[in-house]
Amino acid sequence: MFLNYDYCNYKINLRRIDYMEKFIVKANDDAYVYMTIRIKKVLQEQYTSIAGKANISRNQLINEALEFALDNMEIQDENGRKI
């Protein structure tokens, strides 16, 4: 599963890379663009649930999660070496 949550701590699995850090949701005034993606139904349900509990929009939560993923991503080749 991509996103499991434990109240304030989020564990994100990005291609065999695990992180356990705080995921802090904050307001953002950046310009936005429309983008259509397909996600698994279970992810949509989890993001909807978390956004409701945090009293923020699902869109804001997904944007924060994407930024967190980019900031903490490590890319490896097929031999496990950092690229």
**Residue 16 within any structural domain of the chain:** yes
| pLDDT tens per residue, range 7-63 | 334 444 444 345 556 777 666 667 778 889 999 999 999 999 999 999 999 999 999
**Residue 38 within any structural domain of the chain:** yes
CA angle, 48 as apex, 37 and 63 as ends, to 5°? 50
Residue 75 near residue 83, CB atoms below 8 Å? yes
User: pLDDT: is 46 or 82 the higher one?
Assistant: 46
pLDDT at 2: 40
**Residue 18 within any structural domain of the chain:** yes
pLDDT at 37: 93
**Residue 79 within any structural domain of the chain:** no
Please tell me the total count of domains within the chain: 1
